[in-house]
Amino acid sequence: MPVPPEPVLRAAVRWLERLPASGAARVRALFTAHEDFSDLTPTQYDAAFSWIRETGLLEEANSGVPVRCRVFEAAMAQSGVPWFRDADLLVRRPDELPEDALRAAEALGLTPDEAYAQVSTAWGKVDTEERSRIGSAGELELVELLSASAEGRVEHVAAWSDGYGYDIFVNAYEHSAHLEVKSTVRAGRLTVYISRNEYETMLRDPAWEMVTVRLTPELKLVAVAAVPRDWIADHVPSDRTARGRWESCRLDIPPGVPVPGIPSVAPLLADTAPGLLRGHAPV
């Protein structure tokens, strides 16, 4: 859905300000009969009520977050505007806010600084939820594929502990692979997060390998690749003093860095294993 027009955003604020104290029927009657609210039409109030119901704001009517901030955040996160998906790269300062965000902020009485803070908050929530959803799906897809393609034992260790420093264990014929899985549904941008535990596991464990999994929007696996550990080591932060230590970092991996297939698993693959595990498919 697009960002609602200015009258609908204003009406949404009025609904959410009054619903905790009164039922919807009484609030609607107030908007219809009282001259203080006659600057907006009944149709705009109805459109706003439908919108706050569709976005879930109606279920959070008693939230302690200021109403204007909640309305703006929902307008950005659920509008489908093309820039929001890459807001972490495209909007780094208040003066980089797109026009649709600025118009919505002005309608709601928010300053550019306040709007920027809400965009950052909204993007962070959506990104965290998406990473969790897509990450879990990618791990399960790869476990299923490896279970059908690799000889030996395949264990989804992340299903019961996140302390191993990797997600999938593969073992056969005294050969092991410890796979840290990073999943995406995007073909043009590969951004992953690596924890300190995962990185230090990489340093001490020769069987560790970072595997990137690309999924369709329906969360079906279409590509598998491995990220060379030397590239990872060259791009993680450095602790400059004993009093400062990074615990997690983001890596933006350029095209051409991931190697198609999973080299550490290649010796364990059955003859019938699909080409994407052997590096015979596009990344």
What are the extents of the domains in the chain?
6-110, 137-278
**pLDDT at residue 281, as a whole number:** 63
Specify the pairing of strand 259-260 against strand 221-227. Answer: antiparallel
Residue 2 has pLDDT above 90, yes or no: no
State in words which class domain 137-278 has.
alpha beta
At residue 253 the predicted structure's pLDDT band, cuts being 50, 70 and 90, is very high
pLDDT for 58 equals: 87
Task: Report the percentage of the chain scoring pLDDT > 90.
Answer: 80
* Pairing outcome for strands 190-195 and 208-215: unpaired
244 phi, psi to nearest 5 deg: -130, 130
56-69: average pLDDT: 86
Judge whether 108 and 100 are in contact, CB under 8 Å.
Answer: no
Handedness of CA 154, 158, 162, 167 (dihedral sign): positive
Q: Read off the DSSP letter of residue 213.
A: E
Distance CA(146)–CA(154), nearest Å, equals 7
For the segment 74-119, what is each residue's pLDDT rounded down to a tens digit? 999 988 888 998 999 999 999 999 999 999 999 999 999 999 999 9
Res. 62: pLDDT tops 80: no
CA angle 187, 202, 152 (to 5 degrees): 80
